[in-house]
Structure 1
Amino acid sequence: MKRRTFIRNATFGLPLLSLFPADLSGIKREKPDHQIEKRSLGKTGEMLSIIGFGGIVVMNATPQQAASRVKEAISYGVNYFDVAPTYGDAEIKLGPALKPYRKNVFLACKTQERTREGAKRELEQSLKNMQTDYFDLYQHHAVTSLKDVETIFATGGAMEAFLEAKEEGKIKYMGFSAHSVEAALALMEGFDFDTILFPVSYNTWYAGNFGAQVLEKAKEKGMGILALKAMAKGPWPEGTKNKIPKCWYEPLSEPKDALRGLRFTLSHPATSAIPPGNENLFSMALKISNQITPMEDSEILNIKKKALKEEPLFTFPQKA
């Protein structure tokens, strides 16, 4: 593992790239009868549903509500579940609800701890909360700054805890989620992770110059690409009072708009997209999942024109 050179060698000056026309040739795809499409996850050999279940969907739910929401997802063929300690009581609610299906799902968890001891402690607590002996995927969560990246890879950093946990059989694959191009590229330069969880939405892609650089690098490394914010419209307009619960950004809340966002994201070489944590929006995503197909050239042109008129949720370089 490289410890000193990852920041110096990270290529932040990559030109804006377009992976359109959609190139899904490197991804294996399966469409079971009456089930959601599944795609291969990088080099892992795993096949995941193109819609993932974000743990926030069960945050603040009753045990009965959590069980019902998980059951609905399973009925559509969702087999990818992602949770984190920062999602309120989501781990405590999701663990029991998911327990009957644990052997047949791919369970991912994350930590925002950046040191070895902190990450080790949080991993053990998450395993306990989720009532499981291992995670299929464990991720450095919400990495944004290069300082975070340096701490993760330093002596005594969280990366050491990840490697120890893998040797102990507590995690199968290692990955990260990031909310900046700079951090994502530095992480990929520093270690050969199995997966990346990253925002991929049409307005940040075109209006924010954000995402193409990262996906190109991840694809080059053969990583599994998991997508956030496919159903993000942008920041909430200033003064908005009636915000949708569990959405810190304004989501694409109409089915036709949500479908367009999901189709854009999944026209790229991404395995799965995680909808917003609002349970109603997640349920809507499930209902339209059978309509998700790669975009045609004319649709791509139209969505680019639309995106350039909107305010992106993220930008590269980051705004001061």
Structure 2
Amino acid sequence: MNSRRHFLKSVVASTAGLGAAATSSTSSAQANDAKAEPAAGKVDRRRLGRLEAEVSILGLGLGSAFIRPYDQDREAGHALLQSALDLGINYWDTARGYKTSEEIIGPVVKANRDRIFLVSKSAARDYDGFMREVETSLTNLQTDRLDLLHLHNLKPDKDDLAQMEKGCVRAVRELIDQKVVPHFGVTGHSGARFLMDAIERFDPDALLSVYPCTRDDEGRYEDELLPLARERDMGVIAMKTVRRARNADLVGTDLVRYALSLDGIATTIVGLDTLDHLNANSQMATNFEPLDLAQRDAMHREVTTAVASIPTPWEQPGYEDGAGLA
């Protein structure tokens, strides 16, 4: 295990020396093309596709990693959120299904609304249910608008895209017309092909999906889904970069860095739990240095071996992304 940790550290440390080397389809230059000039000492920002917003490349995942320690200590949670804002982290990701998440963060959102790119999600598929959930989210978040609203957790074994178009998709388009939300996206981790079908049918503005360095679904998220999103200039958000690695001897910031080095990824959400984790990830995401193709390939091989015996949670029967870790 110690040799594995050493290997990953050596892979990351070599980035500066290899930065000028030629790479293949996803070069360091490409990764930096979308990078906005960060404020001094703040987390870097990138353009979120055709949404045009400049968002921090490190986003806050406000699911169970955040809820567990701070549901009963909301003052401490609010202080942690304020620390994230002070570091320049403006991309905040919550969901109606994340239990008390929206309620916990609501007071901080209200006090800092213009500093936050606010994202929530609804898993309702019918028109009325979707509208009710959005109303509840706005109430909990103490705001009259969202910056991005996702159709949450698309699954090929449960969802009918034609029926969704008559229900939640119709609802979200009405909300856009009403200027409650300017953009909508889709999320999922149950196969790249179904998400591609949804993109081709709904033409959403954004995509939230899984981009761990284990290259899930035989690499299709990276090799097929991400190029489609890039082609459409969608805002792409990575998630689940560290979930399986929590039980392995791996460096979490390295795994987040992998996703941020992929051409087309604007930001990566990471579960917010402690100030130490916030600071470590923020440091990695400030004056960000992407991994090149050779480094990503080496990390893929090493981490895939390291987590081979650890099940992928979202591929298990009955998994629901209600308040899962980012």
1:116 counterpart = 2:123: no
Judged with a 3 Å threshold, the aligned counterparts in structure 2 of structure 1 residues 152 and 48 are, in CA distance, closer, same or farther, namely: farther
Give the alignment partner of residue 40 of structure 2, picking from 21, 33, 49.
33
Q: Secondary structure at the match of 2:51?
A: coil
2:261/2:292 contact within 8 Å kept:
no
Q: Please name the residue that 1:6 is paired with.
A: none
| Structure 1 unmatched ranges of 5 or more | 1-17, 235-249
Measure the CA separation in 1 of the matches of 2:163 and 2:156. 11
Matches within 5 A, 1:138-149: 138-145=149-156, 147-149=158-160
How well do the aligned residues superpose, as a CA RMSD in angstroms? 2.7
1:55/1:90 contact within 8 Å kept:
yes
Give the alignment partner of residue 101 of structure 1, picking from 77, 101, 112.
112
Matches within 5 A, 1:149-160: 149-150=160-161, 153-155=164-166, 157-160=167-170
After the TM superposition, which segments of 4 or more aligned residues of structure 1 sit over 4 Å from their partners?
251-254, 312-315
2:215/2:300 contact within 8 Å kept:
no
Give the alignment partner of residue 256 of structure 2, picking from 262, 270, 273.
262
Give the alignment partner of residue 304 of structure 1, picking from 296, 300, 305.
300
Judged with a 3 Å threshold, the aligned counterparts in structure 2 of structure 1 residues 298 and 163 are, in CA distance, closer, same or farther, namely: closer
Q: Please name the residue that 1:209 is paired with.
A: 219
Deviation at 1:55, TM superposition (A): 1.7
Measure the CA separation in 2 of the matches of 1:177 and 1:19. 25
Deviation at 1:66, TM superposition (A): 2.0
Measure the CA separation in 1 of the matches of 2:179 and 2:62. 23
Q: Please name the residue that 2:285 is paired with.
A: 289
Measure the CA separation in 2 of the matches of 1:185 and 1:152. 17
Measure the CA separation in 2 of the matches of 1:251 and 1:222. 35
Deviation at 1:253, TM superposition (A): 7.5
1:272 counterpart = 2:282: no
Q: Please name the residue that 1:230 is paired with.
A: 241
Matched to 1:219, the amino acid is: R
Measure the CA separation in 2 of the matches of 1:176 and 1:87. 16
1:55 counterpart = 2:50: no
Deviation at 1:102, TM superposition (A): 0.6
Judged with a 3 Å threshold, the aligned counterparts in structure 2 of structure 1 residues 131 and 253 are, in CA distance, closer, same or farther, namely: farther
Q: Secondary structure at the match of 1:142?
A: coil
Judged with a 3 Å threshold, the aligned counterparts in structure 2 of structure 1 residues 253 and 286 are, in CA distance, closer, same or farther, namely: farther
Q: Secondary structure at the match of 2:153?
A: strand
Matches within 5 A, 1:47-196: 47-56=54-63, 57-60=65-68, 61=70, 62-145=73-156, 147-150=158-161, 153-155=164-166, 157-180=167-190, 181-196=192-207
2:161/2:198 contact within 8 Å kept:
no
1:232/1:252 contact within 8 Å kept:
no
Q: How many residues get paired?
A: 283
Deviation at 1:287, TM superposition (A): 4.1
Matched to 2:67, the amino acid is: M
Higher relative contact order (CA 8 A, sep 6+): 2
Measure the CA separation in 2 of the matches of 1:278 and 1:182. 32
Judged with a 3 Å threshold, the aligned counterparts in structure 2 of structure 1 residues 72 and 33 are, in CA distance, closer, same or farther, namely: same
Matched to 1:81, the amino acid is: W
1:58/1:65 contact within 8 Å kept:
no
Q: Please name the residue that 1:10 is paired with.
A: none
Measure the CA separation in 2 of the matches of 1:41 and 1:102. 18
TM-score by length of 2: 0.78
| Structure 2 unmatched ranges of 5 or more | 1-23, 318-326
Measure the CA separation in 2 of the matches of 1:270 and 1:48. 11
Matched to 1:301, the amino acid is: D
Per-residue deviation, residues 185-204 of structure 1 (Å, max 9, x unmatched): 11111121110001111013
Matched to 2:211, the amino acid is: V
Judged with a 3 Å threshold, the aligned counterparts in structure 2 of structure 1 residues 307 and 102 are, in CA distance, closer, same or farther, namely: same
Deviation at 1:45, TM superposition (A): 1.3
